[in-house]
Amino acid sequence: MSAPTTASGSAGRTAAEAREATEAAEAPAALTARAPRVPAERLVAEMVPPPRFATVSFDNYLTDPGQPSQAEAVEALRAFAARLGGGADAKGGRRRHRFRREAKPAASSGPRGMYLDGGYGVGKTHLLASLWHATPAAPELKAFGTFVELTNLVGALGFQQTVKTLSGHRLLCIDEFELDDPGDTVLVSTLLGKLVEAGVGLAATSNTLPGKLGEGRFAAADFLREIQGLSARFRTLRIDGEDYRHRGLPAAPPPHSDETVARAAHRVPGASLDDFPALLDHLSRVHPSRYGAMCDGVQAVCLTGVAPVPDQSTALRLVVLADRLYDREVPVLASGVPFDRLFSEEMLSGGYRKKYFRAISRLTALARDAKGLADASDEH
């Protein structure tokens, strides 16, 4: 009689182990368990428009008839893109070596740089990515990245190697040019000077603070001052309008319960689940240049216990993560405080306020994208 019992017990243990294995396989990932190493070569190869802007164009940029500056910017950027083309490589010919400079077409008349000046959510990144796509040159002859990604590239390659690498390009697009870090601004200004001398076309965006749109070209004046001797090379394009992420759309959904967030994380394939304070602590141990790789393959980010960030350094790291999630269109489902309460009043009135307002805008959009995940979870 003992044999059947043993067999039955053995079979029972096997079934339990199988269930545990299945549950473990279906358990959500944790961003706090990821600390990827990103080689410098990947940093260069990934300097392309992010997935959110992989298929944008001037044609699908929806201009506001009440804001003529938007249509004017499109036409100016179309003309700029046309001036940057030429040569065999631009038509998909031989591929250049990453670190070897090759001949470019003769410089044409007109500015070597375009600066897109405007507030949050008016479509500057859409236009910058459209310029990248429209410029008639092979992808390896064009680079697109945020200001932070560019400084990370300099840190990975060194200044001289970065100059050598990018000097062979037709176009460098810098999204979210930062005017609040004097050291990095001078570093990038020096780099841009070298690239202009090499004949590289430049384009950049930055932000005017909400509520400051009536104050003329202050952001443009700051940009041109900070890039010092390059100001004569840039044409400023003022882009007016309201934040499209909130234009005619309902307010961001309020935070959910911990239980709703956890259920959604277990139900959504590829979702991650993290305690917000633990994630902030983890970000302090991972270089911001690796936040993008940390999000690879993540289909949704679920966060419990969202609370106001405790200090400026933590807040700035969170801004970078928000940018990488937004680039990848990863919805964010959260419990705790609303995203517009992440940063203190002191932070929102300080020197990094532009970054914080951008992060709030982007996280709000991603929270709205995640609302369907919460609804599906609540139904079960």
Say if residue 276 is in the same domain as residue 316: yes
Which of these three, 216, 239, 262, is where a domain ends?
Answer: 239
Q: What is the mean pLDDT of residues 296-304?
A: 96
User: Domain for residue 20, yes or no?
Assistant: no
What local confidence, expressed as pLDDT, does residue 110 receive?
Answer: 65
* Phi, psi for 203 (deg, rounded to 5): -150, 140
Q: What is the mean pLDDT of residues 300-312?
A: 97
pLDDT in tens, 99-132: 444 445 444 556 789 999 887 778 899 999 999 9
Which of these three, 239, 256, 271, is where a domain ends?
Answer: 239
What local confidence, expressed as pLDDT, does residue 371 receive?
Answer: 85
Predicted confidence (pLDDT) at residue 70 exceeds the cutoff of 80:
yes
Say if residue 153 is in the same domain as residue 270: no
Domain housing 131: 40-82+110-239
Say if residue 338 is in the same domain as residue 253: yes
User: Domain for residue 12, yes or no?
Assistant: no
User: Domain for residue 258, yes or no?
Assistant: yes
User: Domain for residue 155, yes or no?
Assistant: yes
What local confidence, expressed as pLDDT, does residue 377 receive?
Answer: 59
pLDDT in tens, 175-189: 988 766 677 778 888
Say if residue 156 is in the same domain as residue 294: no
Say if residue 199 is in the same domain as residue 272: no
- Determine what percent of the chain is predicted with pLDDT higher than 90: 51
Q: How far is it, in rounded angstroms, from Cα 252 to Cα 332?
A: 11
The alpha carbon of residue 113 and the mean position of all alpha carbons in its chain are separated, in whole angstroms, by: 22
What local confidence, expressed as pLDDT, does residue 361 receive?
Answer: 87
Of 112 and 60, the one with more pLDDT: 60
Q: Identify the weakest region by mean pLDDT among 12-16, 48-52, 356-360.
A: 12-16
Say if residue 275 is in the same domain as residue 293: yes
CATH of the domain at 233: 3.40.50.300
Which of these three, 212, 239, 266, is where a domain ends?
Answer: 239
Predicted confidence (pLDDT) at residue 98 exceeds the cutoff of 80:
no
Say if residue 265 is in the same domain as residue 234: no
Separation in Å, CA 44 to CA 152, 172, 188: 10, 12, 16
Say if residue 223 is in the same domain as residue 269: no
Say if residue 258 is in the same domain as residue 349: yes
Predicted confidence (pLDDT) at residue 279 exceeds the cutoff of 90:
yes
Full-model pTM: 0.71
Separation in Å, CA 159 to CA 41, 192, 228, 231: 15, 11, 18, 22
